Amino acid sequence: MSQIKREFRKWAKEHPNFMTPTIVKLLEHKGFIIELSEGTDFKRNRIYGVTSLKELKCSECTSTKFKSMNDELGISGMHYSYSEALITMDVIKRALDSVTMEA
């Protein structure tokens, strides 16, 4: 497992997602993390969240921090279908490809 994935898993344990706390799939793509997690909504329906995260580098930070990139990419990551969540992961990968190519 890569260093960034280890750091993210450690960070996620300390900062669990309220609606989708269980990590199902974790990808590293061009220095970003793309996370698929699951949970239940307020009516107990299974839901899936897909989030792209960027590791924040900070010399004063005592621990690794991550920032969601979904808003910057204009991508919503909440789904009731696992297959739709997987499609969103692919959409995020393509969006991150275009962002890193522009940089």
Q: How much is the average pLDDT of 80-84?
A: 96
Is the pLDDT reported for residue 68 higher than 90? no
The confidence score (pLDDT) of residue 16 equals 84
In the chain, domain spans: 3-98
Most confident of 12-16, 48-52, 94-98: 48-52
Are 55 and 33 spatial neighbours (Cβ–Cβ below 8 Å)? yes
Backbone φ and ψ for 99, nearest 5 degrees, come out as -65, -45
Q: What is the pLDDT of residues 30-62, one digit of tens each?
A: 889 999 999 999 999 999 999 998 888 777 666
Bridging pattern class, strands 22-29 and 78-79: unpaired
Which residues, 6 or more positions from 36, have their beta carbon under 8 angstroms from its beta carbon?
23, 24, 25, 26, 48, 49, 50, 85, 86, 89
The confidence score (pLDDT) of residue 75 equals 87
* Distance of alpha carbon 20 from alpha carbon 8, whole angstroms: 15
